[in-house]
Structure 1
Amino acid sequence: MTMFKELTEAAGAPGQEEEVRGIMRRYLEPLSDEILTDRLGSIIAKKTGSADGPKIMLAGHLDEIALMVTHVTSKGYIKFQPLGGWWSQVMLAQRVLVKTRKGDIVGVIGSKPPHVLAPEERNKVVQIKDMFIDIGASSADEAKEFGVRPGDPIIPICPFTVMKNEKFIMGKALDNRAGCALAVEVLKQLQDVQHPNVVFSGATVQEEVGLRGATTLPHVVEPDIFFALDVGIAGDTPGMTDDQMPNSKCGKGPLIVLYDYSMVPHKKLLDLVLDTAEEEGIPVQFESMPGGGTDAGKVHLYGKGVPSLSIGFATRYIHSHASIMHRDDFENAAKLLVAVIKKLDEKTFASLLNY
């Protein structure tokens, strides 16, 4: 849980992931042969089992949904640009951290008070363009003295919390620091295990703004197989129906993505993973989403094509300040990935490509 706390409380706006990358490097280096990066800042660790075996790449993503300073009003209020998919209803009155060159500044997201709104206005959703951030500055000049300038990242505030039922954990940026932690955990479990391949495990940048690190990092790794490590939508909260998310429940096993807007998974790789889960007695769940996507959406199109699959966890309240997931799902996802990696020798890889 120490790793989860460090990763989730770190700041990692898209394109400004250096704080998270530093934590990942510290955890990955003792577990790997070498650390590789691309020119955008993605990071991945290499661990050689059999140098002649296929290259297996696993990646979470370093970035989280965040905001960016665009300008400061004459009265010292910050106007901002969303970075990633924010829903306006989860934003108002939330605390944020403005990361400036002179240090961090706490602020709160505000809007026009409901007390002065006409009745018909109160029933309307406040649009993001009408919101602002109050940092306690009285003017644009004072905000500038504080160190604020356009381009500064703005990060949600939420302390990492192990809940009363200790199987549940809450924090910001579980999308996708949970995937980052899984990338580390898989390497940790492979330390004393023979595996007939070369494993590359780490995290990409700028997933939340267009899967950008997933476009560049494969040029460094040149993978044969790819697993995206990401979160999915939990269907076990009030208001969700079995028609919407029939299988995605916290604590009932890792999520296997059958379809999203960015990719249809490689069927033979999917079958290998499901057969392995059955053999190992690991429960799995399935997710199918008409919208959204993961890094697999880009990596599977690299070169001549990379058989890919997305594996993750049912997570409540993603793309907000605070999300909740279940520790059993994390542990079972690690167990499943390690079991699959142990199977992926040259012969098995060739069978996946036997069309």
Structure 2
Amino acid sequence: MVDMELLKKIVEAPGVSGYEFLGIRDVVIEQLKPVVDEIRVDKLGNVIAHKKGNGPKVMIAAHMDKIGLMVNYIDKEGYLHVVPIGGVDPRNLVAQRIRFFTDKGERYGVVGHIPPHIQTPEDRKKAADWDTIVIDVGADSREEAEEMGFRVGTVGEYAPAFTQLNENRIATPYLDDRVCLYTMIEAAKRLESHEADIYFVGSVQEEVGLRGAHVASYAINPEIGIAVDVTFAKQVGDKGKIVPKLGGGPVMDEVGPNIHPKVRRFADEIAKKYDIPLQAEASPRPTGTDANIIQMAREGVATAVLSVPIRYMHSQVETADLRDVEQTIELARHFLEELRPMDLTP
């Protein structure tokens, strides 16, 4: 059963790409340390937790970082101008709250929006862009904003807004990838007997180029690599092209250059054995996940992607089904418990 208190803690912990040390890294260490044999943080900031075994070496990775914002200018009226860290759509920022991490602690700001009463017809036709986004932090001048702790380079992220929609569904910023980070941690906690030599990795800087997984997979040199990340669920406006649905179970890419056929087939066998519904999607090109870079480590790694489906990715209202989360935990757990040496020649 999903631990809602822990899930919320993981989702809301600070950690924009490159700044995972602001909060989420400590949470991951706190949760994994009691259930692994050794744990360390590398020079890039990845958390690498090792649960020893004599079988195949497997790396399972979920990224810790969030998309976010960085202040690049403070104007004379005290408004912050920002640039994106990762894939932020400026249209999602209008009239939203932003949590900043300043020299003087956490501060909040709001993205201003022209009231409809004073918009011109031309204004109503325009979408927000990075030239029009300004953030009001309550200051009346640049000097006052700086006194509050704001600087060029201050980072921020969507303000916490964890919402339970009904018994099974939640909506919140940063299910990407914190819901999968939670599933990886829970799978590690539930793990019983296993032969595999397992490395649980909380990777950094995925949203800005899969950077942490690149470094971690080189150091670990695994035989098998599993990226745990979110994927798209059917939603309004998908034009019928998205297959996975909320409440339908975890998702794995079916075929494609980033997916090792034998690893994928083994996951299918585990899902059937434990009566876990497993949704499939096609991946005709390398995935935009840590698996893409893990696959190319050293002499090559047999990779796959295990996903929790969500709606409205990279927005403040990412939505998931808790039944999918629970089933993803169980699939990951049994996959790791039953993994044995195999011929990984495709």
Structure 1: gaps (5+ residues):
none
State how 1:32-181 maps to structure 2 within 5 Å.
32-50=36-54, 53-111=55-113, 115-163=117-165, 165-181=166-182
SS at match of 2:31: helix
Task: Give the conservation status (yes or no) of the 8 Å contact 1:170–1:324.
Answer: yes
Contact (CA 8 Å) 1:37, 1:217: kept in 2 or not?
no
Shift of 1:259: 6.2
Distance 2:284 2:130 in 1: 25
Residues 181-196 of structure 1: pairs in structure 2 closer than 5 A = 181-190=182-191, 193-196=192-195
1:279 — aligned with what? 273
Moved more, 115-124 or 207-216: 115-124
Paired with 1:110 and 1:6, the residues of 2 have a C-alpha distance of: 28
Q: How does 1:289-328 map to 2 (within 5 A)?
A: 293-328=288-323
Letter of the 1:344 counterpart: L
SS state of the match for residue 328, structure 1?
Answer: helix
Distance 2:175 2:293 in 1: 21
Contact 1:232–1:287 (Cα < 8 Å) also in 2: no
2-structure distance, mates of 1:24, 1:14? 15
Shift of 1:111: 4.7
1:343 CA displacement: 2.8
Checking the alignment, whether the CA contact within 8 Å between 1:168 and 1:327 is kept in structure 2 is: yes
Q: 2:237 aligns with which of 236, 239, 247?
A: 239
Misfit runs of 4+, over 6 Å: none
Aligned to 2:12: 9
Residue correspondences, number: 341
Q: Distance in 2 between matches of 1:120 and 1:129?
A: 16
Task: Give the Cα–Cα distance (whole angstroms) in 1 for the partners of residues 41 and 236 of structure 2.
Answer: 42
Give the CA deviation at 1:185.
Answer: 0.9
2:344 aligns to what?
352
Other-structure match for 2:216: 217
Listed one character per residue, the Cα deviations across residues 121-175 of structure 1 (whole Å, up to 9, x for unaligned) are 4212121222111101111111110010111111111332333x22112222110
Whether the 8 Å contact between 2:229 and 2:308 is mirrored in structure 1 is yes
Counterpart for residue 203 of structure 1: 202
After TM superposition, give the deviation of residue 80 of structure 1 in Å.
Answer: 0.6
Q: Do residues 256 (structure 1) and 252 (structure 2) align? A: yes
SS at match of 2:312: coil
CA-CA distance at 1:89 after TM superposition = 2.1
CA positional deviation for 1:285: 1.0
CA distance in 2, matches of 1:84, 1:286: 27
What RMSD in Å do the two structures reach over aligned CA positions?
A: 1.8
CA–CA distance in structure 1, aligned partners of residues 8 and 186 of structure 2: 15
The CA distance in 1 between the partners of 2:252 and 2:193, in whole Å, is 25
Deviations 1:42-96 (A, max 9, x none): 102111132xx21111111111111111120111000111111122221100001
Deviations 1:196-242 (CA, angstroms, capped at 9, x unpaired): 1111113100111111101111133221111101111111x333343
- Structure 1 contact 189–338 (Cα < 8 Å) conserved: yes
Q: Secondary structure at 1:199's aligned position in 2?
A: strand
Give identity over the alignment, percent.
Answer: 35
1:267 alignment counterpart: 261
In the alignment, the residues of structure 2 paired with residue 187 and residue 133 of structure 1 have an alpha-carbon distance, to the nearest angstrom, of 40
SS of equivalent residue, structure 2 residue 151: coil
Which deviates further from its counterpart, 18-27 or 275-284?
275-284
- Give the partner amino acid of 1:169: I
Counterparts of 2:68 and 2:253, CA distance in 1: 25
Cα separation, 1, equivalents of 2:160 and 2:253:
28
Corresponding residue of 1:229: 228
Cα distance, 1:34 vs. partner?
0.6
Alpha-carbon distance, 1:116 to partner: 4.7
